[in-house]
Amino acid sequence: MYKGLWLTALLMILVAPSARVSAHGSVVDAGEGCTIFMDFYSAHFTVFQPERSGHREYCEDLPATGESVFVMEYLHDSLRQVPVEFRIIRNTTELGRFVKLTDVQALGDLDDITVFYQSVGPQPDGVLTVMHSFQDAGDFIGVVSAPHPQQDRMYHAVFPFSVGDPALPVWLWVLIVTGLLLLAWRYRNTRGVR
């Protein structure tokens, strides 16, 4: 039993830090930062919360409410030629992190659950910056849309994310599990002394 507890604790310690930086939906952690994919379009994707954490970069999940700056650095020249729509909606689905474009489309009219929307014209410099101040913590879905430069086609990226600290931070879980393991070890040793 104690071997199992130690293995569980070790697994939590190894997995917990990476769980915080892993991405989901159309945003992928490529090892050198995050990339957002809209079919053949792609861009480096970063979120900052300058008032809270200065220059610290986030892929998606944000630790607190407040001012947030979303930055996309286009990796395709054709993306520089088209307008881009950036929308943030409340995640009213029961799918959590597994939301896909079809799930967003099934919601119908998004106006009632939209917390932010901006249509940005072509960006010749290849950098799109969007700022939004989150008033409430919770689960959200980012939807980025861009048309094909020559065809009548629209491409989308959908990425679920949360705003606000989790109920218990990862480091606290590690501390709790370590404490429980130490108590179990001490209990076992004191039982064996009698």
Tokens of 162: 């949360």
Tokens of 12: 């939590």
Give CA–CA dist 18/44, Å, rounded: 19
Give CA–CA dist 99/114, Å, rounded: 16
Q: Assess contact for 72 and 36: CB atoms under 8 A.
A: yes
pTM given for the model: 0.72
Pick the CATH number of 26-166 from 2.60.40.2550, 3.40.50.150, 3.50.50.60, 1.10.10.10: 2.60.40.2550
- At residue 190, the pLDDT reads 79
CA atoms within 13 A on the CB side of 106: 10
pLDDT per residue as tens digits for the range 54-95: 889 998 789 999 999 999 999 999 999 999 999 999 999 988
Query: Residue 6: what residue type?
Result: W
What mean pLDDT, rounded, does the chain reach? 84
Give CA–CA dist 37/138, Å, rounded: 24
Which residue ranges make up each domain of the chain? 26-166
66-74/138-147 β-pairing:
unpaired
Give CA–CA dist 23/21, Å, rounded: 6
Give CA–CA dist 113/116, Å, rounded: 9
CB contact burial 173-193 (16+ within 10 A = b; e otherwise): eeeebeeebeeeeeeeeeeee
Tokens of 56: 């610290």
Question: Which runs of E-coded beta strand occur in the chain?
Answer: 27-29, 34-38, 41-48, 57-58, 66-74, 84-90, 114-120, 127-134, 138-147, 154-163
Tokens of 151: 């065809």
pLDDT per residue as tens digits for the range 90-112: 999 988 888 999 999 999 999 99
- More confident: 167 or 152: 152
pLDDT per residue as tens digits for the range 27-47: 777 666 799 999 889 999 999
